[in-house]
Structure 1
């Protein structure tokens, strides 16, 4: 199992909204890259937050923009930090270019089961990661460790030699480094574009969350 950590985060202004600030109707924007309206668990996590906000009857509306329709996947962290976006859900590793420590959440072999992921989530390791998130002025609302897998058009990937010479879309730089060491070449594609990349031959293989294969 490849564990992919997806985090629902919000700009600090969202977490600090007071009752007085909500006296006037407030609209917040939520963005993510995953398919909307299809039951995707990653979209549903954001939709639950939006529905609960509406049900609270506090004049707060959260508009959800799925499928990277508002911001590209790798742009969402900066959009949150800069105040252009209020809420987002994305693999934390996508922001590792800005905060290098985030890449540690997607190291190969770090997590081998959901049980281990749960223990890791309560560890000092994750406390340090969350401290980096807090430092940027962003608040974690919910998080999840999602199972992942490897797929290839060229055959099953069972050992390092099976990946040699293939064009691989990787979920993050740590996995990309592993594939490159095994002789693969890396193509940079967000998970919502993997299907087309495999269909057109831009990529031969990918590692991604199980939900992205559906």
Structure 2
């Protein structure tokens, strides 16, 4: 009888620790603000897809780590994800870094008008001294970068096409960060602060006349249903934003070395996907807005220069004088050719 009981206990132990698999895996929570469902074009938002790729890669790696994704701000509000990452309450987030500039004002450099010129330039900026400084601040705050990601963006308006600074006068705009707010105010626009997930409602209710955001968000949030004209990035896009996949350092440090290596490798797979997709997001925006009957307009070199002149008197000046080491960060960013 004792032998029989011992055999049963041994069998149960083997079953529990070797046979049940995923139920004993560590589950990480990943949060972001974008839809987790397919759009009309059959694609997911690129930032959701990046997180999903990391989750899929970790499943393939079979190292005892599962990732549960909470899209569409279902776990945390968009701008409230940074602090929980620093404390380990939130494990992973697809996060526009400038959203955390109230904690670390240096982060506003990652959404500075005209700082990043195009998608290829963004890749070079990733390896610049400026980004090394930014990543040290991220790391020192208790957060790890799993994947780099830069998204281009543009303008939309319910009233008219946005090209030169004169075209925004008297309109109320949403811009993603302080630097763009300052530039738009310098051009005579009013400002309403909100995450990109609230732009549609802001336009619909009349709180907003226009907005800045990424090409990806312009499509994923169906903003084409609320506007008359859109200005895609085109050849002279002003708007580039750093939107990496981040992870709590506390959560990362709790993993085994094998799990950490698998996670960093998964992050690189997601980053390569983003690098392939980035420029295509701008084309997708153009197609979606044309199909919806929205007029498309593009900035000229003269328009771009006029905006940059205002940005240097407002955004750049404020950043250089009010942010510790601000001028050095600007110089480092502008040194990337």
CA distance in 1, matches of 2:171, 2:23: 57
CA distance in 1, matches of 2:25, 2:132: 35
Match of 1:14 in 2: none
* Structure 1 residue 167: Cα displacement: 0.7
* Structure 1 residue 84: Cα displacement: 1.1
Structure 1 residue aligned with 2:202, among 179, 197, 205?
197
| 2:87–2:142 Cα contact (<8 Å) kept | no
Q: Which has the larger radius of gyration?
A: 2
Match of 1:160 in 2: 165
Matched, 1:122 2:119: no
What is the 5 A alignment of 1:1-214?
24-38=24-38, 39-214=44-219
* Structure 1 residue 54: Cα displacement: 1.3
Higher helix share: 2
Higher strand share: 1
Give the secondary structure class of the aligned counterpart of 2:81: helix
Distance change (3 Å), C-alpha of 1:23 and 1:158:
closer
Q: Any idea what the Cα deviations from partners look like across 1:118-155, whole Å, max 9, x if unmatched?
A: 11111001000000011011110001111101111111
* Structure 1 residue 24: Cα displacement: 4.4
CA distance in 2, matches of 1:162, 1:198: 17
RMSD: 1.4
TM-score by length of 1: 0.87
Could you tell me which runs of 5 or more consecutive residues in structure 2 were left unpaired when the two chains were aligned. Answer: 1-21, 39-43, 220-337
Give the secondary structure class of the aligned counterpart of 1:147: strand
